[in-house]
Amino acid sequence: MHFGFSYVGLVFLVMLFVPNFFWTKNKPKDYEEDAKNESRILLALERAGEAAVSVLVLVFSDFNVQGFDLRLLWLAAAFALMALYEAFWIRYFRSERTMRVFYASLLGIPVAGATLPVAAVLLIAVYGKNPFLFAAGVVLGTGHIGIHLAHKKEAGEKR
């Protein structure tokens, strides 16, 4: 592992944060009410994972393209997942913006808005051979996906 700026990490974070910025102004109906019931443990894991991933993906140059070899398939797969993540957001912003749409699956991937970026982080970690980013991705996934699954369950119970 080598310290240094990662432009791959920067691109990843831009792909992650830009739709989330727009989401803050376009939250699903009833989101604030459901957010009050979030598990404090899952929320703490989510926040810790977000912070760690955001820093780690930027400070290791191992995530940058170092040449052409088969390991690039891991990076390509990570960015394919992020492309699906962008498609998830396009679908959401074009919809009626309900909790049901927000927590829907995409191409069979459950709670796609949470699952896709977490899976992408894990693939970038494998590509960069970085166990710290992988561990941070697991922490993030536990909290983020866990919260999304709980919200999805609550949204289904309200139907």
Query: Can you give the residue ranges of every domain in the chain?
Result: 7-157
pLDDT in tens, 85-104: 999 999 999 999 988 888 88
Question: pTM of this prediction?
Answer: 0.91
Q: Name the more confident of 157 and 29.
A: 29
Provide the CB-side half-sphere exposure for 119 (13 A, CA): 18
- Count Cβ neighbours within 10 Å for each residue of 4-15 and write b for 16 or more, e otherwise: eebebbeebeeb
Residue that the structure tokens 């989510």 belong to: 46
- What is the predicted pLDDT for the residue at 43? 95
DSSP state of 27: P
pLDDT in tens, 26-73: 888 777 776 777 899 999 999 999 999 999 999 999 999 988 899 999
Q: What angle do CA 115, 116, 118 make, to 5 degrees?
A: 65
What distance in Å separates the CA atoms of residue 32 and residue 54, rounded to the nearest whole number? 25
Q: What angle do CA 9, 120, 113 make, to 5 degrees?
A: 110
CA 26 to chain CA centroid, nearest Å: 18
